[in-house]
Amino acid sequence: MKNKIFKGALHGWKIHLYLILVDISMIIKWWFVNIPPKKTRRFFVMEKSNQAVSEMTKTALIAALYVVLTVALIPLAYGPIQLRLSEMLNNLTVFNKRYIWAVTLGCLIANLWSSMGVVDVVFGTLGTLVMTSISWFLSRYTTSVPLKLTISVVICTLMSWSVALELHIMSQAPFWWTFLTVGIGEFIATALGAVVIYWISRHYGLTK
C-alpha cells in the first residue's frame, strides 16, 4: 500500500516537473516570437552595462581608499623611511585583476602629494603597476589564498628597489640603505594587509 502511494506521488512530481518545463519552453518561445530582437539585445546589453558600472564602482572605491590612507598619513607615506599603510591594498590584486588598476590609479593620485613631484607620479605609479601585475600573474598558479597573499607580500617587498632608486637619484639617499628601510616598511604594510584581506576574503567574495 505504501509503495503504491510512493509511486503515485513520484508519478505526480514527474507530471509537475514536465508541466514546469513545458511552461518554461512556452515562455522562451513567446519571448523570441513577440519581443523584437533589438529589445532582446538591449536587455543583455543592460546586464553587461550594470556589470561594467559595478566594476568601475569597485575600482573607484579602492582607488579612493588608497588615496585617503596615504594622504591621511603623509609623514609616513613618503621619504627614505616610510610606512605607507595604503600598500596593504596591493594584496587585493591576487583576487581580481581589476584591483591592479584600482591600486595603480590610487597610487597615481596619492603621488601628487609627493615631494619628488612628477617623477614619483610617473615612475612610482609605474612601479605599482608592474609589481601588482606580477603578483596577479604569479598568484594564478595556486589556489591557496594564504600562498597567493604570500606571493603578493614578497613581490611588493622586493619591488621596493624602484622606490629606493627614485630616492637615490632625486634625493641622493644611499640606495642599499634606502632599499632596506623602504622594504621593511613595505613588508610591514603588506603583511598586515594580507592578514586583514585574508579575513575579509573568508566572509566576502573578492574574486567577483
DSSP character string of the chain: -HHHHHHHHHHHHHHHHHHHHHHHHHHHHHHHHHS-HHHHHHHHHHHHHHHHHHHHHHHHHHHHHHHHHHHTTHHHHSSSS---GGGGGGGGGGT-THHHHHHHHHHHHHGGG-TTTHHIIIIIHHHHHHHHHHHHHHHTT---HHHHHHHHHHHHHHTTHHHHHHHHHHH---HHHHHHHHHHHHHHHHHHHHHHHHHHHHHS-TT-
Q: What amino acid occupies position 200?
A: I
Q: What count of other Cβ atoms lies within 10 Å of the Cβ of residue 61?
A: 12
Per-residue pLDDT of the chain (208 residues; tens, 9 = 90+): 545 544 454 455 555 555 555 565 566 555 555 656 655 555 545 555 667 777 888 888 999 999 999 999 998 899 898 999 999 999 999 999 999 999 999 999 999 999 888 999 999 999 999 999 999 999 999 999 999 999 999 999 999 999 999 999 999 999 999 999 999 999 999 999 999 999 999 888 888 7
Provide the domain count of the chain. Answer: 1
Domain membership of residue 48 (yes or no) is no
pLDDT, position 203: 85
pLDDT, position 30: 59
Domain membership of residue 7 (yes or no) is no
pLDDT, position 54: 76
pTM equals 0.75
Domain membership of residue 196 (yes or no) is yes
Domain membership of residue 34 (yes or no) is no
pLDDT, position 45: 53
pLDDT, position 58: 86
Domain membership of residue 12 (yes or no) is no
Domain membership of residue 6 (yes or no) is no
Domain membership of residue 14 (yes or no) is no
Give the structural domain span for 59: 55-203
pLDDT, position 24: 56
Domain membership of residue 173 (yes or no) is yes
CATH number, position 186: 1.10.1760
